[in-house]
C-alpha cells in the first residue's frame, strides 16, 4: 500500500475553475502490491496531459455538452504516460513497459481491463523525451495532423490562420503548414507567446489577439484573404476569420476555447455566418477519435513527426508543471491561457 | 421600334425594397427590327424569374456582398424564358427557338454575344409548362438537386429539416427527400403555406416559424434530432437547427434570406457555432454555378425531374405575377415572403 497524490474534481466551477476549490490534490491509498486485475495492470504515472477540452468534463449533468462529466470527488482522468509495475494475466504487458493511454492524474494507478484498451506501448526508436508522447506525438499532435490534411487540404502557396497558435495543436499545425509551403499566421494571447511563435515555431506572422482588432490585423497581414482557418477558440476570432476567408475557404473546427467557460446561451454570437453561402466555405468539426481521422493518419503521423522532431525540423514547445502538488494550478492555468506550449504535468518532479 | 416595359433598379432600398420607389417599371424603346448583333439575338421575353438573391444586387457599391450590384437606372437582369424573334450571325439560333438564360425583365430584349452564352435551348420532350424551366427545371431546381446530393448525402431513414420549405428550392429538396426515403420537416412563414406543405408537397411535418419556438418545435417533431439541415434563411432557424442536429449532421448553406435586408453588423448572432466541433458537423456553402454542382448534376437533374413532374411524382408549386405592370410588386412581395411557391413573372399576361 502506498499513498498516491491524486488530482480530484472537488466542486463544479462557475466560469474558470479555481485551484484548491474546484480541483484539488488528495493523498489516496493505492495497493500497488495487490494482484492486478486480469487484462489490466498496476502502473506508476510518469507524465499527464492537461488539455482544454477537460473544461467540458468539469461540469454537472445539467451542464454537460460534448463529453461526459467527471464524477464529483473522483480523480480527473486524461492522457498519461505510465510505466508498468505489475501486469495482470492476459494483459500482454511486462514490468517496465512504457505505455500511453487514458488514466488518472496521480502518482500511481490501477488500470482495469476496460481502461487498459486505451493504452498502447510507446514506440520510440529515436529515444525522444517521453513527455512528447502527450503532445506532438500524442493526441494533440494527431489532432493537428489529421484535420490539417483531412479537412484543410492544404495547397502550396496558400495562407493559413491558426488561433491558439502556440498551443498543443496550433504549434504543430503551423509547423506542418510551413513544411507544406504555406504562409502561416498565428494568434496568441500574450507578447511572450508572440515572440516564441515567430522565433522558435517559425510562423511567418502573428499577433496578440488581446492587443489588436483581429479583423484589421488579418486584413493587414493577408490583404487578399486567407485560405484556411484552423479554429481552436471560436467566438470573435472565428467571426473575423470568416470575414477574412477567400472563396472556397476551409474552416477546421477543432475547438472553441474562448467560450468553454461561458454558459451556452451567453456564448459569442457570430453575425456573419451568411458568408458561408456566398464564399462557398467548407466548415467541418471533428474529433481525433472519429473514423477517418486518428485511425487514418496515426501511422504516418507517428513515423513523420518522430523523424521531424529528431532531425529538428519540428520543434516542440512544452509547458511543464512540476510535481503533483502543483497539478491544480497547472490545469487551471491552462484555462486562463497562462501556459506557453503544450501543457503537461511531470508527476514526480521535485520543485526546481 | 417597339415600346418595351422594363423592370428598373431606380433607387437603393433601405431594408425591404419598396415597389414604385426602389424598383419601378418604365417603358423603354427597343428596336426589334434592327439587325441583331453577331452571336446575339432579338427576343420576346415570355417568363422571368424572381429570386431572393436579387436582394444582394439591389445595393450600391458600398453595400455589395456576394454579387455585383445592378446599375441604378438600368434594367434588372435575371433568369428568363424567351423566344427568338431575329437571330444574329453565328448565333446558331433560329426564329421561334425557345431559350432559357439571363436577360432583362422586360417585354423585349436585345441580347449581345456575351450574354447569349448564358442561354440554352429548352429541351422539353414532355411539353411541360415553360414557366417550370425557371423553377424546378431551372436554376432553383438544379440548386436543390445538386446540393442535396453533393453536400447533404442523404441516407434512407434520415430526417431532414428544410427552411423556406415551400419556396423555389425548398419544395424540390423536400420532394427529393421523400423520394429517397427520408422524413421531411419544413418551416414556412404562413399558415396557408403550411397547409400546402403537407397537403400538396408531401412533407411529413412542418410549422409556421412565426408562430412557434423553432427549437422546441424541432425537438417535438424530431426528438432524437435531425440529420440534415437545408438552410435557406440563416439567423434564428439556423441556430435552432444546429442545436437540433445529431452527431455528424450536415448543413447545406444555400441562403440566408432572413438576413438579406439587414446590414452586415446587425445580422443575427449565432451563439452555438461551438457545437460544430463536438457534433462533428459538416457545414458547406455553394452556388449552383460552382464546379461540381450545376455542371455535375445538370443532365440527371433535367432528365429525372422532367420525368417526375410528367408522372406526377414531383408537384411544382409556382407563384405567378401577371403582367409587367405588376413586376415591382411581384419582386418585392418575394422579399416579404408573400409568394407561395417559386415566384415567376408571366410577362405578357393580362389582368385576370
Task: Write the residue in B267, B276, B284 that is nearest to A271 by C-beta.
Answer: B267
Contact B226, B162 (CB under 8 A): no
Grid coordinates representing B7 are 423592370
Closest CA to B77 of B98, B99, B58, B97: B58
β-strands A108-111, A77-87 pairing? unpaired
**What are the pLDDT digits (tens) for B64-98?**
866 899 999 999 999 999 999 999 999 999 999 99
Grid coordinates representing A155 are 495547397
Q: Does A284 touch chain B (CB under 8 A)?
A: yes
Same domain assignment for residues B186 and B275? yes
- Indicate the DSSP class of residue A59: S
Q: Does A352 touch chain B (CB under 8 A)?
A: no
Q: Does A274 touch chain B (CB under 8 A)?
A: yes
- Minimum Cα–Cα distance from B260: chain A residue: A274
CA–CA gap between residue A63 and residue A79 (Å, rounded): 23
CA–CA gap between residue B271 and residue B255 (Å, rounded): 19
Å from B175 to nearest chain A CA?
Answer: 23
DSSP-assigned beta bridge partners for residue B78: B103
Residue with cell 429548352: B122
Grid coordinates representing A188 are 496568441
Residue with cell 420525368: B307
Same domain assignment for residues B131 and B208? no
Task: Put residue A183 in one of left, alpha, beta given phi > 0 → left and psi -120 to 50 → alpha.
Answer: beta
What count of residues does chain B have? 352
Residue with cell 424567351: B82
Residues of A in contact with B64 (CB under 8 A): none
Closest CA to A144 of A164, A169, A162, A166: A169
Same domain assignment for residues A331 and A229? no
Q: Can you count the helices (H) and strands (E) in chain B? A: 9, 15
Å from B233 to nearest chain A CA?
Answer: 9
Q: Does B352 touch chain A (CB under 8 A)?
A: no
CA dihedral sign of residues A173, A178, A180, A181: positive
Grid coordinates representing B189 are 412563414
The CATH number assigned to the domain holding A82 equals 3.90.180.10
Same domain assignment for residues A146 and A273? yes
| Residues 6+ away with beta carbon under 8 Å from B23 | B7, B8, B9, B10, B17, B58, B76, B327, B328, B331, B332
- Please give the helix or strand (H or E) that residue B245 lies within, else none: strand B245-253
Alpha helices in A113-249 (DSSP H): 113-116, 139-147, 170-179, 191-199, 214-221, 235-244
Q: Does B214 touch chain A (CB under 8 A)?
A: no
Q: Does B294 touch chain A (CB under 8 A)?
A: no
Q: Is residue A322 situated within a structural domain? A: yes
**What are the pLDDT digits (tens) for B116-130?**
999 999 999 999 999
CA–CA gap between residue B36 and residue B116 (Å, rounded): 12
Residues of A in contact with B268 (CB under 8 A): 269, 271
CA–CA gap between residue B6 and residue A29 (Å, rounded): 87
CA dihedral B141, B142, B147, B149 (to 10 degrees): 100
Reading chain B (352 residues) residue by residue, the pLDDT tens digits are 899 999 999 999 998 999 999 999 999 999 999 999 999 999 999 999 999 889 989 999 888 866 899 999 999 999 999 999 999 999 999 999 999 999 999 999 999 999 999 999 999 999 999 999 999 999 999 999 999 999 999 999 999 999 999 999 999 999 999 999 999 999 999 999 999 999 999 999 999 999 999 999 999 999 999 999 999 999 999 999 999 999 999 999 999 989 987 887 899 999 999 999 989 999 999 999 899 999 999 999 999 999 999 999 999 999 999 999 999 999 999 988 888 999 999 999 986 5
Q: Is residue A257 situated within a structural domain? A: yes
Q: Does A53 touch chain B (CB under 8 A)?
A: no
CA dihedral sign of residues A344, A48, A120, A74: negative
Residue B162's alpha-carbon distances to B32, B175, B185, B252, in angstroms, are 44, 11, 6, 10
Task: Write the residue in B253, B259, B270 that is nearest to A269 by C-beta.
Answer: B270
CB contact under 8 A, A272 and B264: yes
User: B285, B307, B331 — which closes off a domain?
Assistant: B285
Residues of A in contact with B271 (CB under 8 A): 264-270
Reading chain A (352 residues) residue by residue, the pLDDT tens digits are 899 999 999 999 998 999 999 999 999 999 999 999 999 999 999 999 999 889 989 999 888 866 899 999 999 999 999 999 999 999 999 999 999 999 999 999 999 999 999 999 999 999 999 999 999 999 999 999 999 999 999 999 999 999 999 999 999 999 999 999 999 999 999 999 999 999 999 999 999 999 999 999 999 999 999 999 999 999 999 999 999 999 999 999 999 989 987 887 899 999 999 999 989 999 999 999 899 999 999 999 999 999 999 999 999 999 999 999 999 999 999 988 888 999 999 999 986 5
Q: Is residue A309 situated within a structural domain? A: no
Closest CA to B259 of B292, B233, B221: B233
Q: Does A153 touch chain B (CB under 8 A)?
A: no
- Indicate the DSSP class of residue B149: I
Q: Is residue A128 situated within a structural domain? A: yes
CA–CA gap between residue B174 and residue B169 (Å, rounded): 9
Same domain assignment for residues A21 and A111? yes
CB contact under 8 A, A277 and B284: no
CA–CA gap between residue B147 and residue B254 (Å, rounded): 8
DSSP-assigned beta bridge partners for residue B315: none
Grid coordinates representing B332 are 418585392
CB contact under 8 A, B271 and A267: yes
Same domain assignment for residues A218 and A260? yes
Same domain assignment for residues A170 and A198? yes
Grid coordinates representing B267 are 445580422
Closest CA to B50 of B347, B350, B343: B343
Q: Is residue B297 situated within a structural domain? A: no
Same domain assignment for residues A23 and A82? yes
CA–CA gap between residue B334 and residue B169 (Å, rounded): 14
Q: Is residue B304 situated within a structural domain? A: no
CA–CA gap between residue A244 and residue A257 (Å, rounded): 20
CA–CA gap between residue B308 and residue A271 (Å, rounded): 40
CA–CA gap between residue A204 and residue A206 (Å, rounded): 7
Same domain assignment for residues A117 and A212? no
Q: Does B284 touch chain A (CB under 8 A)?
A: yes
Q: Does B253 touch chain A (CB under 8 A)?
A: yes
Å from B191 to nearest chain A CA?
Answer: 27
Whole domain around residue A30: which residue ranges?
Answer: 2-135+317-346
Q: Does A287 touch chain B (CB under 8 A)?
A: yes
User: B236, B263, B285 — which closes off a domain?
Assistant: B285
Residues of B in contact with A279 (CB under 8 A): 66, 285
Q: Is residue A275 situated within a structural domain? A: yes
User: A267, A285, A303 — which closes off a domain?
Assistant: A285
Q: Is residue B305 situated within a structural domain? A: no
DSSP-assigned beta bridge partners for residue B253: B231, B285
Q: Does B280 touch chain A (CB under 8 A)?
A: yes
Residues of B in contact with A269 (CB under 8 A): 268-271
Same domain assignment for residues B172 and B249? yes
CA–CA gap between residue A281 and residue A300 (Å, rounded): 28
Same domain assignment for residues A88 and A209? no
DSSP-assigned beta bridge partners for residue A278: none
Q: What's the domain count of chain A?
A: 2
- Minimum Cα–Cα distance from B290: chain A residue: A280
Residue with cell 442535396: B148
DSSP-assigned beta bridge partners for residue B79: B102
Residue B126's alpha-carbon distances to B310, B311, B318, in angstroms, are 7, 10, 18
The CATH number assigned to the domain holding B244 equals 3.40.50.720
Angle of helix B139-147 relative to helix B170-179, nearest 10 degrees?
A: 50
Contact A97, A83 (CB under 8 A): yes
The greatest distance separating any two alpha carbons of chain B, rounded to the nearest whole angstrom, comes to 64
CA–CA gap between residue B262 and residue A178 (Å, rounded): 40
Q: Does A223 touch chain B (CB under 8 A)?
A: no
Task: Write the residue in A67, A280, A290 that is nearest to B286 by C-beta.
Answer: A280
CB contact under 8 A, B66 and A277: yes
Q: Which 3 state secondary structure label does DSSP give A207?
A: strand
Angle of helix A170-179 relative to helix A139-147, nearest 10 degrees?
A: 50
Counting one residue from A and one from B, how many pairs have CB atoms under 8 Å apart?
A: 116
Same domain assignment for residues A171 and A74? no
Amino acid at each position: 500500500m502506498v499513498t498516491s497524490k491524486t488530482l480530484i474534481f472537488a466542486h463544479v466551477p462557475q466560469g474558470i475553475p479555481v485551484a484548491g476549490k474546484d480541483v484539488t490534490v488528495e493523498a489516496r491509498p493505492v495497493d500497488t502490491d495487490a494482484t492486478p486485475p486480469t487484462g489490466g495492470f498496476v502502473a506508476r504515472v510518469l507524465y499527464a496531459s492537461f488539455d482544454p477540452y477537460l473544461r467540458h468534463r468539469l461540469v454537472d449533468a445539467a451542464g454537460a455538452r460534448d463529453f461526459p462529466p467527471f464524477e464529483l470527488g473522483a480523480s480527473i482522468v486524461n492522457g498519461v504516460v505510465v510505466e508498468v509495475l505489475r501486469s495482470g494475466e492476459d494483459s500482454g504487458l511486462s514490468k517496465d513497459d512504457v505505455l500511453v493511454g487514458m488514466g488518472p492524474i496521480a502518482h500511481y494507478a490501477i488500470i482495469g481491463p476496460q481502461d487498459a484498451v486505451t493504452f498502447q506501448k510507446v514506440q520510440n526508436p529515436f529515444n525522444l523525451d517521453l513527455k512528447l508522447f502527450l503532445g506532438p506525438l500524442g493526441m494533440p499532435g494527431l489532432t493537428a495532423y489529421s484535420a490539417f490534411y483531412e479537412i484543410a487540404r492544404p495547397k502550396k502557396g496558400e495562407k493559413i490562420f491558426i488561433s491558439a497558435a502556440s498551443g498543443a495543436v496550433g504549434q504543430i499545425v503551423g509547423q506542418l503548414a510551413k513544411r507544406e509551403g504555406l504562409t502561416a499566421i498565428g494568434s496568441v494571447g500574450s507578447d511572450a507567446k508572440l515572440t516564441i511563435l515567430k522565433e522558435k515555431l517559425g510562423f511567418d506572422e502573428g499577433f496578440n489577439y488581446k492587443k489588436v482588432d483581429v479583423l484589421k490585423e488579418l486584413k493587414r497581414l493577408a490583404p487578399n484573404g486567407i485560405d484556411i482557418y484552423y479554429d481552436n477558440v471560436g467566438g470573435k476570432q472565428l467571426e473575423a476569420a470568416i470575414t477574412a476567408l477567400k472563396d472556397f475557404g476551409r474552416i477546421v473546427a477543432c475547438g472553441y476555447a474562448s467560450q468553454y467557460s461561458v454558459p451556452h446561451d451567453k456564448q459569442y454570437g457570430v453575425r456573419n455566418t451568411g458568408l458561408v453561402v456566398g464564399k462557398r466555405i467548407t466548415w467541418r468539426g471533428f474529433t481525433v477519435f472519429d473514423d477517418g481521422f486518428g485511425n487514418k493518419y496515426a501511422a504516418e503521423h507517428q513515423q513523420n513527426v518522430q523523424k521531424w522532431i529528431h532531425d529538428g525540423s519540428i520543434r516542440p514547445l512544452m509547458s511543464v508543471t512540476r510535481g503533483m502538488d502543483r497539478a491544480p494550478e497547472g490545469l487551471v492555468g491552462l484555462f486562463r491561457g497562462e501556459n506557453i506550449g503544450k501543457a503537461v504535468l511531470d508527476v514526480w518532479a521535485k520543485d526546481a
